[in-house]
């Protein structure tokens, strides 16, 4: 996840917390695109819940709609503008995640090779751990060379749930 984890803008039109089968999720957008999709624990979610019903920014509306479709099983690919920070390498690694097909997995080595950097396996792992847009940029689809469910900033239980959800469709 991102270095600025759980930061939210002052403008409540640009963020929301949604319920999902794997717990509360914070969605933050800018005027340009999606900036963060982070898993929250229940305590943090309660401290951020909104009481006002401000109109939503169109990018936020679109993001919430597509996430809802994903969780009910009617969406396999996201079509959202992104507003990613990070280094050039991180953005390259993150965008490579979107090319891993729905319901499939790739190893860190395969992800590194896909961006023309086959020796950057560890750097890929570090970049994935800072992925600011969980689910949309599906770092949950990256597994260890031995097929194990290794490292996931949201927790291995969420990674397993997401992979099982996709495989069941």
Radius of gyration of the chain (CA): 16
For the chain, give percent helix, strand, coil, nearest 5.
40, 10, 50
Distance CA 48, CA 29 (A): 16
Beta carbons of 109 and 96 less than 8 angstroms apart: no
H helix runs in the chain, sequence order: 42-48, 58-72, 88-97, 108-114, 121-129, 156-167
Active site residue 139: yes
Catalytic residue among 26, 60, 139, 162: 139
53 is written with which tokens? 């019903």
Cβ neighbours for 46, distance < 8 A, ≥ 6 positions apart? none
Distance CA 128, CA 122 (A): 10
Active-site positions? 139
């Amino acid at each position: 996840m991102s270095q600025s984890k759980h930061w939210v803008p002052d403008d409540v039109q640009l963020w929301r917390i949604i319920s999902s089968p794997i717990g509360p999720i914070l969605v933050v957008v800018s005027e340009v695109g999606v900036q963060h999709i982070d898993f929250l624990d229940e305590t943090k979610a309660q401290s951020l819940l909104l009481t006002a019903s401000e109109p939503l920014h169109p990018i936020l509306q679109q993001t919430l709609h597509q996430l809802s479709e994903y969780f009910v099983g009617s969406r396999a690919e996201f079509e959202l503008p992104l507003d990613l920070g990070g280094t050039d390498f991180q953005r390259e690694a993150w965008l490579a995640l979107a090319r891993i097909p729905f319901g499939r997995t790739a190893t860190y080595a395969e992800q590194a090779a896909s961006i023309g950097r086959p020796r950057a396996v560890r750097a890929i792992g570090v970049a994935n751990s800072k992925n600011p847009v969980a689910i949309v940029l599906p770092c949950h689809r990256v597994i260890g060379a031995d097929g194990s469910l290794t490292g996931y900033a949201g927790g291995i239980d969420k990674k397993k749930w997401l992979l099982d959800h996709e495989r069941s469709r």
